[in-house]
Amino acid sequence: MTTATDTGTGTFTPRPGAAPLPRMIAAQAALETRMLLRNGEQLLLTVVIPTLILVLFSSVDVVDTGSGKSVDFLAPGVLALAVMSTAFTGQAIATGFERRYGVLKRLASSPLPRWALMTAKTASVLVTEVLQVILLTVIALALGWSPHGNPLAVLLLLVLGTAAFSGLGLLMAGTLKAEATLAAANLVFLLLLVGGGVIVPLDKFGGAQSVLGLLPISALSDGLRDVLQHGAGMPWGDLGILAVWAVVGLGAAGKFFRWE
Amino acid sequence: MRSEPVVQVRDLVKRYGTKTAVNGLDLTAEAGVTAVLGPNGAGKTTTIETCEGYRRPDSGAVRVLGLDPVRQSAELRPRVGVMLQSGGVYSGARADEMLRHVAKLHAHPLDVDALMERLGLGSCGRTSYRRLSGGQQQRLALAMAVVGRPELVFLDEPTAGLDPQARRATWDLVRDLRTDGVSVILTTHYMEEAEQLADDVAIIDAGRVIAKGSPEELCKGGAENTLRFTGRPGLDVGSLLKALPADSTAAELTPGSYRVIGKVNPQLLATVTSWCAQHGVMPDRISVERHTLEDVFLELTGKELRS
């Protein structure tokens, strides 16, 4: 990096130029990740709540999780919850306030292209998810979790789930006021936590089960459970549901997102 | 310095719903410092933000450094620095962290620490943006506009709400930018700021440019300037008038209080004082009132308060 020091005349002599794209994207992704990890409320959502749910419900038998060890039922659900907390809730709230505080507007006049900003945001979400998955996997293994199945199917589910939740999160952040996004994103998180097969098996909801099964969180937790608990192959049905949500969510976000 | 204009706005129209914010505005800014003055709601920010590529004109043409700010945005953005009227920073980011980040988006940025020091932000680099004072937030936004070593910077009310010291620091920076060949377009409410900094001033009202020129040119136009003095009552105003240039007037307003209206310059002042000396008059409380940009501004935009 070429620098000039403050020695009066000549300091500001124009020497414009954009940094190379990979450097811009890496810098943006690093900044976004730092902002997320520094934010206490975000950490509560992305780390503390999934960890507590995993530890608490695995050790104390308050929810009937069917036959087998409860951690085998809970671990896939909590992984799905972690993806939702970062890609949907966390991203919606952070982006909503960035829009509100003019951050997106200011960055739009920097050399960073918009698509590169979105790429950096996605990278930041993926980095956070990797950290979450490592943490939760270690805890679950310590609690006696014995995962099965095809790692590729798991990866595909996590990636499509991230795409689906990101689209919905950005749609919310780019159309609602920041405060409304904050409230709605938390409410949706809570509702989907209860009604999305994360800790409560969907068959407890009787007739509503078939509708609830179409939610992205249900598809993700159900797909992960099929693979990790029951050792199933590719869960095409759940992957299909997630793909539809991803296309609809990202398409709508692309069309309706307002930058300021 | 370049000879082509840095900003060219021709017949710009911009509406928000039924409200017309900019109504056939023409503005050409040459290299140097151009101040855009106007009352609230005159269309200053809309004009600037159209130049920055944030808004598409409803009609008219905008060229910045010869480029279309919307269609040639990718080419233009690295060459232009932008300071928004407010915000633009992650609320949890530290001041130096944000400035370093913007620096990383550029190929040849300024030294971040030196720039922070220069703008009096050296002691609050580790402070998060939301804990900075309003003035510190403003100066950080200014630093973000210049750190990429642009050819042209847009500053939207850069000193609004600053204390006098911080305002001086900002003015000094703008002067150094100019000296180093960076062009500056700034909006301001402060006449003094425009008089101090600008090579050219454009006064905007109701979405149009209603006057443009150097501060001196603008102050020369309009009403004449005034010289007042007090002395013995009943002086021969007629003989004073004969001593003065042809386009001047002189009158005794109240007994012992005299007023000369005309082109007030050192020659006129010398003429008046030597006439006084010839007549054995001590001109007490002699004062000159030259037209300020504020007078011009109020004359052009009206003195009544607007909402």
C-beta separation of B156 from B48 below 8 A: yes
Nearest to B261, CA basis, from B239, B241, B234: B241
Is there a contact between A31 and B90 if contact means CB atoms under 8 Å apart?
A: yes
Q: How far apart are CA A75 and CA A54, in angstroms?
A: 7
Reduce the DSSP state of residue B32 to 3 states and report it: coil
pLDDT beyond 80 at B219: no
From CA B88, how far away is CA A99, in angstroms rounded? 9
Using alpha carbons, select from A86, A76, A50 the residue that is nearest to residue A201. A76
Q: Which residue of B92, B106, B176 is in closest CB contact with A11? A: B176
Residue A35 contacts B where some CB pair is shorter than 8 Å: yes
Are B132 and A26 within 8 A, CB to CB?
no
Q: Say how far apart CA B264 and CA B273 lie, in whole Å.
A: 13
* Selection from A110, A75, A99, A89 nearest residue A199 by Cα: A75
pLDDT single digits (tens) B290-305:
777 777 787 777 755 5
Distance, CA of A109 to CA of B84 (rounded, Å): 10
pTM for this model (two decimals) = 0.84
CB A77 within 8 A of CB A221: yes
Which range has the worst mean pLDDT, A27-36, A245-254, B292-301? B292-301
For chain B, give the mean pLDDT.
90
| Spatial separation of the C-alpha atoms in residues B232 and B280, rounded to whole Å | 10
- In chain B, the residue whose alpha carbon lies closest to the alpha carbon of A259 is B54
Measured CA to CA in angstroms, residue A114 lies from A111, A118, B10, B74 at distances of 9, 6, 28, 10
For chain A, where are the alpha helices, taking DSSP H only?
A: 21-38, 40-43, 49-59, 70-83, 91-100, 103-108, 114-142, 151-175, 178-195, 209-212, 216-228, 236-256
pLDDT at position A98 is: 95
Going through B56-140 in order, the beta strands assigned E by DSSP cover 59-64, 80-83
**How far is Cα B268 from Cα A231, in angstroms, rounded to an integer?**
101
> Would an 8 Å CB–CB cutoff place A12 in contact with chain B?
yes
Pairing of strands B225-230, B284-289: antiparallel
Candidates A99, A106, A114, A260: best to mutate against B (most CBs of B within 10 A) is A106
- What is the pLDDT at residue B129? 95
What pLDDT is stored for residue B64 in this prediction? 97
Q: B68: pLDDT confidence band, cut at 50, 70 and 90?
A: very high
Question: Given this model, what pLDDT does residue A7 score?
Answer: 46
Cβ <8 Å between B110 and A12 = yes
Q: Provide the sign of the torsion angle of the four alpha carbons A77, A83, A85, A89, taken in this order.
A: negative
User: Do the beta carbons of residue A13 and residue A101 sit within 8 Å?
Assistant: no
- CA atoms in the 13 A half-sphere facing the CB of B11: 3
Residue among B217, B296, B225, B289 nearest B263 (CA)? B225
The single-letter DSSP state of residue B94 is B
A102 in the Ramachandran plot: left (φ > 0), alpha (ψ -120 to 50) or beta?
left
Q: Which residue of B has its CA nearest to A99?
A: B88
Using a pLDDT cut of 90, give the percent of chain A over it: 78
pLDDT at residue A134 is higher than 50: yes
Q: What is the residue whose two structure tokens read 């003429």?
A: B271
Residue A53 has pLDDT above 70, yes or no: yes
Say what the ipTM of the complex is. Answer: 0.87
Query: Which of A3, A9, A12 has the most B C-beta neighbours within 10 Å, making it the best mutation to test the interface with B?
Result: A12
Q: How many CA atoms lie within 13 A of A222 on its CB side?
A: 24
Q: Looking at this protein, which amino acid is placed at residue A132?
A: Q
Is pLDDT at A143 greater than 50 in this prediction?
yes
Q: Which of B28-32, B55-59, B259-263 has the lowest mean pLDDT?
A: B259-263
DSSP secondary structure letter of residue A6: -
Using an 8 Å CB-CB cutoff, list chain B residues near A98: 90
- Mean pLDDT (chain A) is 92
Other CB atoms closer than 10 Å to residue B164's CB: what's the count? 8
A258 touches chain B (CB under 8 A): no
